[in-house]
Amino acid sequence: MNKKYLMTFFAAFVFSLCIVSCDNSDTDPGATQLVDMAGQWDVAAYSIDASGTVLAKEADTFTLITYNTAANNTTEMWINDKGNFWNFKMKVNVDLQNMAFSCVDTDYNASDNSDATAVITNGKVLKGAATNLHGAPNDSIVFEVKFSDDTSNKTYRIAGQRYTGFLR
């Protein structure tokens, strides 16, 4: 008899879990205006000549972040290397329709008092243009940047793909 009550209680418990788990009314958190361009990226840095030919790899894979500004508009975003390459964090102009971005003589590190600026050209987010470790299509990012305080006067191409969470 004790076993009968235990089985009834267990059946009622499982039934109540099923009813609760069937609630599929999810809240839509929405997205930012630049959701297709924002993200975490695994990139590397290369020095290039005036014609765009790669001269040397300057930095192995590092993390780069792109995200919307507080204004959450479609015309500007932040780009931030989190101190992994040149310690830059700056706003760039965005052309969302073409998935492009750039900036001219922009202060690239608001946390210091230097007058150093950067120019970003040919910035693009390319949907599905990369391939992840498992062969699936992945978004890529590429841009060229020149820093006013670079004593070697190099132009760098930063290129890579969206972070997927898979280890290399």
DSSP letter (8 states) at residue 96: G
Per-residue pLDDT at 24: 56
Per-residue pLDDT at 56: 95
Do residues 47 and 155 lie in contact, with contact meaning Cβ atoms separated by under 8 Å? yes
Residue-wise over 89-100: b if at least 16 C-beta within 10 A, else e?
Answer: bbbbebebeebb
State how far Cα 145 lies from the chain centre.
Answer: 17
- Segment-wise mean pLDDT, segments of 10 residues, the chain, 168 residues: 73 68 59 93 96 94 96 96 94 97 90 85 97 90 96 96 79
Calculate the alpha carbon distances from 68 to 24, 71, 91 in Å.
30, 8, 9
Per-residue pLDDT at 19: 64
- How does pLDDT run across 21-38, given as a tens digit for each residue? 555 555 666 688 999 999
Task: State the CATH architecture for 35-162.
Answer: Beta Barrel (2.40)
Residue 107, Cβ neighbours under 10 Å: how many?
17
Per-residue pLDDT at 3: 74
Nearest residue to 62 (alpha-carbon basis) of 141, 155, 153, 151: 141
> For the chain, what's the residue count?
168
